[in-house]
Structure 1
Amino acid sequence: MAETQAPEVDYTLNNPDTLTKYKTAATISHKVLEAVSALCVEGAKIVEICQKGDELLEEEIAKVYKGKKIAKGISHPTTVSPSSYVTPYTPLVSDAKEAETTLKAGEVAKVQLGAQIDGFGTIVCDMVIVAAEGEVSGREADLIHATHYANELLLRLMVPPGLLASGTDEEKAKAAAEKPYSQSQITGLIEKVAKAYDCTVVENTTSWLFDRNEIEGTKKIILSPGSGVKGEGLPAVGEVWGVEIGLSLGSGKVKTLEHRATLHRRTTTTYILKRPSSRQTLSEVVKKFGTFPFSLRQLDDEKAAKVGVVECVRGGVLRQYEPAGEADGSAVSRLFTTIAITKNGITRLAGPTTDLTKFKTDKKIEDEEILKILERPLARSTGSKGNKNKKKKAAAKKEDEPSNE
């Protein structure tokens, strides 16, 4: 008797369960981001904020998909980056000096974290001006405005041509035949937004295609790429992306910081590890985090992990994220949005929520092309049918009500 094979699971967005899992992970990410952002006050120790953020992520993740054989966990550990830091920052308790790092008043702190359900991860990053009370003005306000609009522009540039076109079939076909923006065109337009606020784009700011158990897929968009660096591919319907925008009040050039690399991620490389400590570290990483990023402080024995990770990185089984900052020490921003591209346009799964009314600037965008792009919708309106039904129900209810005459 022939064995019957289990049906292959569809992990694309064509499967409604996939989008549901992404949205569940996004809800958790947003909830924890809000709580962690509130902890970013003057004098707060960054390592303690990161620890609390991960605790909250674990608590919220434990509440969903209970009793089901579905892998779930943290897709990105809680990181809090001070003003001039370009990359996510997560110090260790065992590194005494860095463990004492605190947030200072006026800093542009970047909070990044994420959750994953069944390998479908969402990552979000937003900014907090530490100890800001009331309206914020000056260069930090310029930076916030610039970053918000650069992010909104980038998202609209990622909508595939003709996807949201209306009109006759001929008009729709004409819109669909338009060429998508190239990566150099995208960089050029984002740089115009930055320039309007006297800011610069942080070099090598990268957005990635997401997949199941993968946050650095085969496609990537790189803004202001450095020498020998280039992006690959453009967004398409049915894809999920992690969209990053980073601007600077300085040069936008990046330098490696003299801090320990604490953020790592498992690769697909296989290598025979010689040291027992290395094998133990890798085993714990595989079990707890799969292929998602993690901080050494999340491992059972932080000090042992610092030793065990060395051979893992050297052998290529773990990737090490080098801490980097603005070359001239200026404040930098970072926003990170996880989006799904469907036939109806872009759905923001997890993203920042900037209240521009709190930030006052006298600068503005005047480029007509950019202003027109910013007016475009991200998605097709799907609420008209529901609104019509509501009106019909309201009318029917009114007819049924007794007259007061």
Structure 2
Amino acid sequence: MAAVRFAREHGLTVAVRGGGHSFPGYSVCDGGLMIDLSPMKGVRVDPDARTARVQAGVLIGELDRETQEFGLAVPAGIVTHTGVAGLTLGGGLGWLMPKYGLTIDQLLSVDVVTAGGEFVKASAGENADLFWGVRGGGGNFGVVTEFEFRLNPLGPTVLAGPIFWPMAESPRVLRFYREWIADAPDELMTAVVHRKAPPLPFIPTELHGELVVAVVSCWAGAVDEGERVLRPLRRFGSPVLDLCRPKPFLAHQAMFDPSYPHGWWYYMRACDVVELTDDVIDITVDHAMRIRSPRTAFPIWQVGGAAARVGRDDTAFEGRVTGHTFNITAATDGPDGFDEEREWVRDFWTALSPFHTGVYVNFLMDEGEDRVRQAYGPAKYDRLRALKRRYDPDNVFRLNQNIPPTTR
């Protein structure tokens, strides 16, 4: 509260840092004031009520560690060093989405410091308009300092991991995958990843650097039933490596960490598509075959299940009825080769443009107001602008995927 008031009194730009996972760099600013929430690490689990109170500096790996002590979980993210705050405020995709919904679907209340430096609470029964906005509208309406989540039973063991095929089999794998997940139970969450096989200890050396396609699964149910559901995938084509096995949920959550370390150079463009049509698959394979950097890997996330059954207008988040989310991400160790990788991302994204239906706001770079509007659709965007006028009429919190306040 004091920091926000100080910034306003001195006309300073305000940046808010939670986990520091902002790809566009919105967590920091030059010549302004960064409110760093990262020391706020409190997690309080109530296993009887199945709730958790989580401060805004907590990372999802830290949250998972506390909740899994009681066989409980919040569906949240896919990289353990992601901040709970930013992930949640944008919606929150993750490995438990079909079973339990988005991260925001577990949110019971928030503590917020407004642009005026005042403390308010928001929930379904208190400041309900603000509660609607923070569930998908990002950090536009204040600094959320604490979250209260509903917890869900899970694990501690899940059946999870990737199954790899040579990239040449990607057209057939994607067409099979499209049919296989059509009637998938809610316990199954999947993502398809194209990349060069990384030189990790659990990957045979003969595969290192080879172009591969992987279907990564997480089965949030009884392992025996998961084995039955996954059997057709295991038997399809000629897999070169099967790492899908029973493991602690905490281990699965950390699986992508080596692919997104701090310090690399990243560039991404994202889009939602309704389905993996033959044309979408052909475009995907064509560009996947052109991957050059051993750091580049792009996931295609399955969306649906419980997340799609929440009312479309119940939260600010849009995209519940999309079929898949493309997160086309390029990465290099440093500036060498980065320009070429960035152009590859842009070309890929442009080729998919006839099939775009929206975009997940947490996957946006610094792409301008039109793209932010696209993330919410016209009606929700107008509603969010009106809400912004009520809670932040001077647009103090503008270092984000910004929603400017209405002018009337």
More strand by share: 2
Q: From the CA coordinates, give the structure whose radius of gyration is larger.
A: 1
TM-score when normalising by structure 1? 0.25
